[in-house]
Structures are given as structure tokens and as C-alpha cells.
Amino acid sequence: MVKRAFAALLCLVNGLLIPVNLWAENAGNSANHGVILQYHHIATGTPPSTSLAPEVFRRHLEILKQGGFSVLPLPKLVAALQEHRPLPDRAVVITFDDAYDDIAQQAAPMLEQFGFPYTIFVSTDFVDRKQPGYMTWDQLRGLQAKGANLANHTRSHLHLLRKPDALSQKQWLQALREEIDGAEQRIQAETGEHWRYLAYPYGEADAAVIKAVTSWGYLGFGQQSGAVNKTLLNSGMAPRYPFNQSYQDLDDFRVKASSLPLPLKKETFPGWVFDEPVQPELILALSTQRELKGQLNCYASGQGAIPLRMQADNVVVVQVSKPIPVGRSRYNCTLPVAGQPGRYHWHSRMWIRKRDDGSWYPEP
């Protein structure tokens, strides 16, 4: 009550510049979850699957500014989740993968104008080689000086799951460690930053990679959708919502940015990578006693709504009726948040299917 009254007073003092509900939201520091947004290029003329137009990105920032969101630096979100410190409701983190130079040219000036912090995941070989299209260390240091954080995206942006046949699993993990520790050392040497946050290239990892990376002291970040809480962060593959030209709908952005994690007790699934036609069975045991029928909805890439089977009151079996496609695909599940129209619990599971002869599909 005291907090609310104080919030209302602040609004009066500040005139009408700040909407009352923003303060009310931010005064209620009670959430134990947040949302991480993921972008690559903020540009036109770059590949559509990894690009968002600057004017759409600006709309995202306007929605975050006006919609009662608190945009936090990634280290602050991580620390709050790890240390059980309360977060503002609608806490959002902005991240960019690859350190493309259009981020310095297009996104950074807008972010500065809005006063929003952000994190860039850097593949250091491209910066070290001064590869055209990527930022230089000077540019990265310039953004760092204005509040950006810099984190690890491996040295060479390799596929962490594509072990050459000639290498043993042990040799492969050693090579991955050199990639990941090597990038961390380069970022630290050039900028002093040393978070041990790793964004998996292409959002790809499996249980073995996650286990290794976690044992080396890194927190892993994926490209599967969903809000994040402490459990998901410590799972070794924290969700991030990717945005590109296929996701230009601003209502979709609002829903994702204000989403909550699914109240999950346990998640069971048959594997990460498949080399045959499969219809993976995802079993979600939810910790809510709510009626889920007609409320929980799951969708598969290219297949639309997935039929759901109730195994028990709060245990749902999610399984597509046709095999998943070759390549990366996902199941996305949503459940409306009780009493908060327009907000959803959101959870995603990524699948990777190799070609039927066991070879890797070409990366588009």
C-alpha cells in the first residue's frame, strides 16, 4: 500500500510524462522471471531470416518504453534470478548475436536515445579478422562505453553439434572448449568483460554440449522462444525470443515481451537430434491445478496446432501427427495467464532432424 501511494505521488511530481501503470508495475517488484529478446541484423538488404527493419525495431523500443516494461542489462537479470531477488514485472533484456556492424549504425543510436541497455554476443574471429559487415573492437568498445555488455558467441560461429567423424567425442569437446574459452579470452583482453554467457550459434546444443559447457562455468542461451526463470536459466539453454522479418506483427511482439514461463514441474522428451522421421512426444507436467483443456495450446513449425492428450489432471502429452521436418523446428506451447487478459505463459522445445542418411542439412 505504502509503495503504491509513493508511486502515485511520484507520478504527480513528474506530471503526466510517465503513465501511472508503469510506476504501479515497477513498484511491484515481485516477479521471478523475465524475457530475453534476440536480434541479429537491424537492417534491410541483409538475409530476411536474420534481419529486422530499423523502423520495426524502433516500434519494438517504443512498445517497451510505453508498455510498462523494465529493460534491464542481461547481468542484472541473471543475478536477480540466481540470487532470488525480485524483478519488476515485465522485465525484458535486449540481445544481439554476431556483432554485425548495422547494430552500431542502426540499433545502437536508437537504444541510446531510449536509454536501454543491451548485450552483444560476439564471434571473435570475425572481429579479429576485421571481416567486412562486422564491428571492430573499437566499435564494440565504443558501445560498451555507452552501456552495452559483450558476451560469448564462440570464436568461429561453428555448429556445436556437427562433430567431424574423424574426431572422438572427447577430441570434439576439447575443440569446443578452445572455441568457447578462446572467445571469452579475446573479449576479456579487448574489453575487460568476462561474464561466461554463451549464446549457442544457430541456437543449437544437445544434452552433451550443454553438460560440457555448464561444467566449464558458462551459462548457455538458445534461440527457442519463451520467458526465463531460474530453472530455465540453469538448464544450460535459456530461452530467447528471436525476431526477424517473419515476426513483424507488433501484437506478437507485445505478447512475447510480456510473457511468463509455463508453470512446469517436469518436462520429458525423447532427445535433441534425430536422423529419421520422428514425431517427438513432449510430456509437460504442470504445477498448476488449473483446467488445461482448451486453455493450453501447442503449435509445431509448419504443422499448426498439435493434438494434446491429457495423461493426468496436469500432465499433457504433446505429439505432432506428422513427422517433424528436416532441420530445426519447434513446438511452442501457450497458456493464458489467469486474470491478465493478453498475457500468456510460453514454452518452447527445439528439435533438430538430420537428413535420413544421417548427414547434416545445409544451413540456409
Residues interacting with Zn ion, by CB under 5 A? 97-98, 201
Cβ proximity to Zn ion: between 25 and 125 the closer is 125
230-255: b (≥16 Cβ within 10 Å) or e? bebbebbbbbbbbbbbeeeeeeebbb
Task: Give me the residue whose beta carbon is nearest to Zn ion.
Answer: 97
Give per-residue burial for 146-169: e unless 16+ CB within 10 Å, then b.
Answer: eebbbbbbbbebbebbebeeeeee
Please answer whether residues 237 and 200 qualify as being in contact, where contact means their C-beta atoms are separated by less than 8 angstroms. yes
Q: How far is the CB of 363 from Zn ion (least distance, A)?
A: 11
Return the amino acid letter for 76.
K
Nearer to Zn ion, 156 or 295 (CB): 156
Residue 30 CA to residue 277 CA, distance in Å, equals: 44
Nearest-10 crossing angle of helices 169-191, 207-215? 50
Minimum CB separation from Zn ion for residue 251, in Å? Answer: 27
The CB-of-348 to Zn ion minimum distance in angstroms stands at 18
Which lies closer to Zn ion via its Cβ, residue 54 or residue 201?
A: 201
Partners of 39 in the beta sheet? 96
Nearer to Zn ion, 201 or 226 (CB): 201
In order of 121, 242, 285, 359, the CA distances from 100 in angstroms are: 10, 16, 40, 30
Contact 261, 347 (CB under 8 A): yes
In this complex, which beta carbon is closest to Zn ion, that of residue 89 or of residue 98? Answer: 98
Identify which of residues 202 and 253 has a Cβ nearer to Zn ion in the complex: 202
For 185-202, give the DSSP string. Answer: HHHHHHH-----EEEPGG
Q: What SS3 state is found at 205?
A: coil
Min separation Cβ 330 and Zn ion, Å: 17
In the complex, least distance from residue 303 CB atom to Zn ion, rounded to whole angstroms: 26
Rounded to whole angstroms, the Cα distance separating 358 from 27 reads 53
Amino acid at 86: P
* CB closer to Zn ion, 97 vs 102: 97
- Beta carbon of residue 36, minimum distance to Zn ion (angstroms, whole number): 15
Shortest Å distance, C-beta 200 to Zn ion? 9
Query: Which grid cell sits at 42?
Result: 537491424
Total residue count of the chain as it appears in this document: 364
Cβ proximity to Zn ion: between 98 and 125 the closer is 98
Which of 98/193 has CB closer to Zn ion?
Answer: 98
Q: What is the DSSP letter of 103?
A: I
Q: How far is the CB of 153 from Zn ion (least distance, A)?
A: 6
Shortest Å distance, C-beta 79 to Zn ion: 25
Of 89 and 193, nearer to Zn ion (C-beta) is 193
Query: Are the CB atoms for 188 and 194 separated by under 8 Å?
Result: yes
In whole angstroms, how close is the CB of 154 to Zn ion at the nearest point? 9
Q: Which residues contact 293 (CB under 8 A, 6 or more apart)?
A: 310
